[in-house]
Amino acid sequence: MTQHKISLTRYLVEQQRADGHIPGQLRLLLEVVARACKSISQAVNKGDLGGVLGTAESENVQGEVQKKLDIIANEVLIEANEWGGHLAAMASEEMDSIYVVPNRYPQGEYLLLFDPLDGSSNIDVNVSIGTIFSVLKKPEDHPGVQEADFLQAGAKQVAAGYCIYGPQTTLVLTVGDGVAMFTLDREQGSFVLTKENIQIPADTKEFAINMSNMRHWDAPVKRYIDECLAGSEGPRGKDFNMRWIASMVTDVHRILMRGGIFLYPWDKREPGKPGKLRLMYEANPMSWLVEQAGGMATNGRERILDIAPGKLHERVSVMLGSKNEVERVTRYHDPL
Ligand code: AHG
Ligand code: MN
Ligand code: MN
Ligand code: MN
């Protein structure tokens, strides 16, 4: 690593200077999100000592029972971001509708979307969890802000990232200029650049999917996984390994670090629903990070970043990671 530690602040200042594609407001926004993640990380670390584990007595708009940390992380992100003047509104997996910045604060030009706590089923068992975020620019053609302003394709994101609360607290970020990773230095209290230009190898021998849903999968996904499972005697001619953490943030992080393919496909249990994962809070930011690292992300038929969202809490089938594998499983699907 470099001799002089580069903090997140310095990285963002240098990004702003180098090509000017991080305007001041966006730089502030990313600093504030990072600060909020630090605070969530503190809460996660305290665990039982801080009374943050366990379930709250509420359900979110997704029909999921909320964990205390889902709610805490959501509140931390809102409180940190509402007063700085960089945002017009926020949207979250844990809120029914958009949160417009109260008019006692100045309105900024950005929209922030987040999955405040990804991997909720892992909270109480001390397994890595995280926060996923995505930033869009508010359309300039009208005053005020409304839900429709958020319904932009993922390709329009101006920043995306996640923070993992695991053995280390790690922030991974793209502003459209590759993917950089920062590790929280708890003594300094700041994120320090620890990897730049992260690249996902095009080939892999590792897949991630919830195998318990196999009987519900569609034929192309079943074929793809069957071929992986057949190993060196099958058509792929190589043995595959499987990993499933059940925190998308951590499964995707592993793929950014060493390659692999992650699938959460549509399945037959819910014919009306296009998948489990959320397009705006999970699939879009992760797909952009993966593409920025040389990988690929589709819903089996089209590039996730090209999907025009119909609603805020839209769900989507997700296949992302090492390019040649995502290309293969996408090829197995019929074209639209
Ligand atoms: P969240 O905790 O934000 O609701 O998201 C959980 C998601 C994702 O992180 C993970 O990949 C998937 O749900 C796990 O699903 P299974 O329980 O089916 O394994
Ligand atoms: Mn959830
Ligand atoms: Mn999630
Ligand atoms: Mn969540």
188 and 68 in a common domain: yes
Residues in the chain predicted with pLDDT less than 50, given as ranges, are: 2
User: For the domain that residue 217 is a member of, what is the CATH number?
Assistant: 3.40.190.80
Instruction: Find out whether the beta carbon of 95 lies less than 6 Å from any atom of ligand 1.
Output: no
- pLDDT at res. 271: 76
102 and 60 in a common domain: yes
Going by C-alpha positions, the residue among 309, 43, 81 that lies closest to residue 165 is 43
Residue 245 Cα to ligand 1 midpoint, Å, equals: 9
- pLDDT at res. 269: 87
Q: How far is CA 170 from CA 41, 92, 249, 287, in A?
A: 10, 21, 11, 18
User: For the domain that residue 130 is a member of, what is the CATH number?
Assistant: 3.30.540.10
Predicted TM-score (pTM) of this structure: 0.97
Residue closest by Cα to atom 19 of ligand 1: 246
Q: What's the complex ipTM?
A: 0.98
Which residue, of 154, 175, 195, is where some domain finishes? 195
Instruction: For 322-334, write each residue's pLDDT tens digit.
Output: 999 999 999 999 7
| 63 assigned to some structural domain | yes
Residue 177 Cα to ligand 3 midpoint, Å, equals: 25
- pLDDT at res. 336: 58
Q: How far is the C-alpha of 192 from the C-alpha of 188, rounded, in Å?
A: 9
Residue closest by Cα to atom 18 of ligand 1: 210
Residue 118 Cα to ligand 2 midpoint, Å, equals: 7
DSSP annotation string for 238-278: S--EE---S-HHHHHHHHHHH--EEEE--BTT-TTSS-SEE
| 2 assigned to some structural domain | no
Which residue, of 170, 195, 220, is where some domain finishes? 195
Test site for ligand 1: of 248, 313, 320, most ligand atoms within 8 A of the Cβ: 248
Instruction: For 171-183, write each residue's pLDDT tens digit.
Output: 999 999 999 999 9
- pLDDT at res. 327: 98
Domain hosting residue 211, numbered range: 206-330
